[in-house]
Amino acid sequence: MMEVWDGQIFKAALRLHCTAGILELTQSQVVVRVAPKLKKAFEKQCDAMGLKPSETLRSLMLAFTRLEMRHQILTGEEPLTRDLTVSKYMAMSERDRMLLWDNWYQEAETYSKNSEVAVKKIAGSRR
Amino acid sequence: MRVLVDKNVVRRWFESVIRTNLGQPLTKEQELVVSILATARSQGVEIYVTLETYNILTRILRNPQVAKAIIANSDTLYRSKPFRGWLRNLREATTLTGEDAKVLAYATFGTNLPGTFVGCEKVVTLDRGLANEFQLKKENLEARLHRLKKRLPAPYQEARLPQVVLLESDSPLDST
């Protein structure tokens, strides 16, 4: 599952950043040509998160090239909650899904009460 | 760096896991969330969810496959002792919803289970209302936090207000 997820998120991320871009593959190197506007957007996103754009793109490329085809793990008929399947959930409107999560949040709050953790000693510098 | 992602970001993340595994294309918003979390993770950023979100994933959802994808790629923030007091401050000083105020309270006074840190550096959200209200009241909140910290024991004096990062589908990251 971990491998599938890792591969899939990297693939999705790469698709986002390379939309309208060109991917050139040779035996020794991978060249990604991206529209300047996308490059700028990618760099701005990375910057806001304190990430280095060049290293980030390299990490994405490496993960992408390691990606192997894997079988799909969901059919849609699996239960998501007591009375909802994955397919039914995905067929709901954006607003209904949002409201459903709000209800789940309220239910989840009841499990979260009285769960205080004491901080005794902070490991290393915070920032 | 520690980053707290709010419930709506987790929802897009969760839905992107389902869509990807059903072979469906992601929406723009889902791609945005997934890409920024992937880039963050690839550079060692620690992604956190609130205890409430964790409880949705583990106690309400009945599909461990999908939830596991998120749990395996994130950690959980628990409430430390000053959480309640700071939450009261946030509610008094802002017009934030109870849930949004809790997100900020977690980002300021959340900790892990062993209690080895206080708070997160950033909150990632898709909620413009949260980002705007935070920006508007930031100075007041800084002052309130400063006053609160004077009464707290040493580890909690490390607490800082987080930076709120707004993810938008039409434009790249905008931080306030």
What letter would DSSP give residue A69? Answer: -
Report yes or no: B153 at the A interface, CB cutoff 8 Å: no
Q: Is the pLDDT of residue A12 over 70?
A: no
What letter would DSSP give residue B60? Answer: I
DSSP SS3 for B170? coil
Q: Are B107 and B119 in contact (CB under 8 A)?
A: yes
Report d(CA B15, CA B8) in Å as an integer: 11
What letter would DSSP give residue B110? Answer: E
Q: Is the pLDDT of residue B161 over 80?
A: yes
Q: Is the pLDDT of residue B70 over 70?
A: yes
Residue A6's pLDDT band (cuts 50, 70, 90): very low
Burial annotation B117-126 (CB, 10 A radius, 16+ → b, else e)? bbbbbbbbbb
Backbone angles phi, psi at A33, to 5 degrees: -105, 125
Alpha helices in B6-97 (DSSP H): 7-21, 28-42, 51-55, 64-71, 83-93
Domain containing B95 equals 2-175
Report d(CA A15, CA B35) in Å as an integer: 9
Interface ipTM: 0.90
Q: Which residue has the higher pLDDT, B138 or B59?
A: B138
Residue B65's pLDDT band (cuts 50, 70, 90): confident
pLDDT of B28 reads 82
Instruction: Please report the residues numbered 15 through 54 in chain B whose beta carbons come closer than 8 angstroms to any beta carbon of chain A.
Output: 15-24, 26, 30-32, 34-40, 42-43, 45, 50-53
Residue A70's pLDDT band (cuts 50, 70, 90): very low
Which residues from chain B sit within 8 angstroms of residue A86, using beta carbons?
A: 18, 22, 63, 66
The mean pLDDT value for B142-161 works out to: 93
Q: Are B87 and B81 in contact (CB under 8 A)?
A: no
Q: Mean pLDDT: which of A13-17, A26-30, A116-120 is highest?
A: A116-120
- For the segment B93-109, what is each residue's pLDDT rounded down to a tens digit? 999 999 999 999 999 99
Q: Which residue has the higher pLDDT, B30 or A3?
A: B30
- For the segment B75-98, what is each residue's pLDDT rounded down to a tens digit? 999 999 999 999 999 999 999 999
Give the CATH number for residue B14.
3.40.50
The mean pLDDT value for A63-84 works out to: 67
| pLDDT, mean over chain A | 70
DSSP SS3 for A116? strand
pLDDT of A95 reads 95
Q: Is the pLDDT of residue B44 over 70?
A: yes
Q: What percent helix, strand, coil does chain A show, rounded to 5? A: 55, 10, 35
The model carries a pTM of 0.74
Residue A69's Cβ-side half-sphere holds a number of Cα atoms within 13 Å equal to: 1
Which residues from chain A sit within 8 angstroms of residue B63, using beta carbons?
A: 78-80, 86
Report yes or no: B132 at the A interface, CB cutoff 8 Å: no
CA B87, B88, B91, B92 dihedral sign is negative
pLDDT of A3 reads 39
Residue A48 is nearest to which of B8, B118, B165, comparing CB atoms?
A: B165
* Number of domains forming the structure of chain B: 1
Report d(CA A95, CA B127) in Å as an integer: 14
pLDDT of B175 reads 41
Instruction: Please report the residues numbered 66 through 125 in chain B whose beta carbons come closer than 8 angstroms to any beta carbon of chain A.
Output: 66, 68-69, 72-73, 78-81, 83, 99, 111-113, 115-119, 121-122
Residue A13 is nearest to which of B35, B83, B174, comparing CB atoms?
A: B35
With CA atoms as reference, report the closest residue to B83 among B47, B57, B51: B51
